[in-house]
Amino acid sequence: MFPLLRRTLISSLAFSSTPFSPPIANSLSRLYFMDSSAPKNFGASQKLMALAQQLRQYKPPPTPFDDDEEERKMEESAGKLVSQLGFAESVTPVAQQPPESFRPKRAAVLICLFEGDFGEYRVILTKRSSKLSTHSGEVSLPGGKAEETDANDAETATREANEEIGLDPSLVNVVTCLEPFLSKHLLRVIPVIGILSNKKDFSPSPNAAEVEAVFDAPLEMFLKDENRRSEEREWMGDKYLIHFFDYEMNDKKYLIWGLTAGVLIRAASIVYQKPPGFLEQNPKFKVPKVLKKDTIMP
């Protein structure tokens, strides 16, 4: 959906198997998970129920800023340009038009997992319409920007999935959220993991204005070094890798890359409880002191 860019807030921190990420705002991240005996688990296999139980125990890695007040202070300090440059405010354009501090808009994507014919975990993906003005024809997870009426990230993700591909939210058992990712256009994206107990209950009805195709892929492929390549990029002095996965289904070829690939690598690592079989190299992103509306990452 968006080219991969994930950040950590403190550039001096070393990489680890659970890299630091932006804090999840308390007001939007409270989830109400379904009990294992709830209707959404009706017909679920023992394997899916065990996975749901495992994922409910998952907690995103801690961050140096773990509450809204600390994040607010961080965001306010991000826009103080004049004092850092040493120019008098009265002689700079900033006096007339203050710089915009770092306040990324919020979005959520749905990682909807189900059990395949051979017992493997599979994830539902979409190919965006070629008529869209941005990211046209790219593979993405269902999802989109949060609306004021959304109670939390889970509601954003499931609402968008319903609008895009006709996936009824009542069929999805939301079990956890991952740490936020940052898109190329500085959109904070929260991956929401949900379980579809019975794939046969879902008959895709893609919104033609947004989605060209709906398909699924084995989640474990995002841990393997097969049909994968990567490109090195740089942001504010830090190098990182963007991953590309080639995938074919029903004689159709798909390229899964960028943010979507990064989210799925992370999700697969958590589900299978092991690291990928290749160098992931997430970036240690620093936030610019001032962001213009057209600021994007490479």
- The phi and psi torsions of 144 (rounded to 5 degrees) equal 175, -170
Q: CA-to-CA distance for 92 and 83, rounded, in angstroms?
A: 11
Q: What is the DSSP string of 39-97?
A: GGGTT--HHHHHHHHHHHT--PPP-S--SHHHHHHHHHHTT--HHHHT--GGGSGGGTS
Q: CA-to-CA distance for 42 and 51, rounded, in angstroms?
A: 15
Question: Which is higher by pLDDT, 46 or 33?
Answer: 46
Please identify which residue in the block is written with the tokens 């994206």: 189
Residue 297's alpha-carbon distances to 132, 187, 222, in angstroms, are: 21, 11, 23
- The phi and psi torsions of 115 (rounded to 5 degrees) equal -95, 125
Question: Rounded mean pLDDT of 120-139?
Answer: 85
Query: What is residue 96's predicted lDDT score, i.e. its pLDDT?
Result: 42
Closest CA to 13 of 62, 66, 60: 62
Q: Which amino acid is at 13?
A: L
Q: Give residue 142's pLDDT band: very low, low, confident or very high (50, 70, 90).
A: very high
Q: Which of 14-23, 100-109, 267-276 has the highest mean pLDDT?
A: 267-276
Query: What is residue 73's predicted lDDT score, i.e. its pLDDT?
Result: 45
* Residue 84 clears pLDDT 90, i.e. is over it: no
Query: What is residue 237's predicted lDDT score, i.e. its pLDDT?
Result: 76
Please identify which residue in the block is written with the tokens 């001032």: 290
E strand or H helix that includes residue 247: strand 238-249
**Residues belonging to the chain:** 298
Strand partners, 238: 235
Query: What is residue 38's predicted lDDT score, i.e. its pLDDT?
Result: 44
* Residue 281 clears pLDDT 50, i.e. is over it: yes
* Residue 9 clears pLDDT 50, i.e. is over it: no
Mean pLDDT for all residues in the chain: 76
Q: Give residue 41's pLDDT band: very low, low, confident or very high (50, 70, 90).
A: low
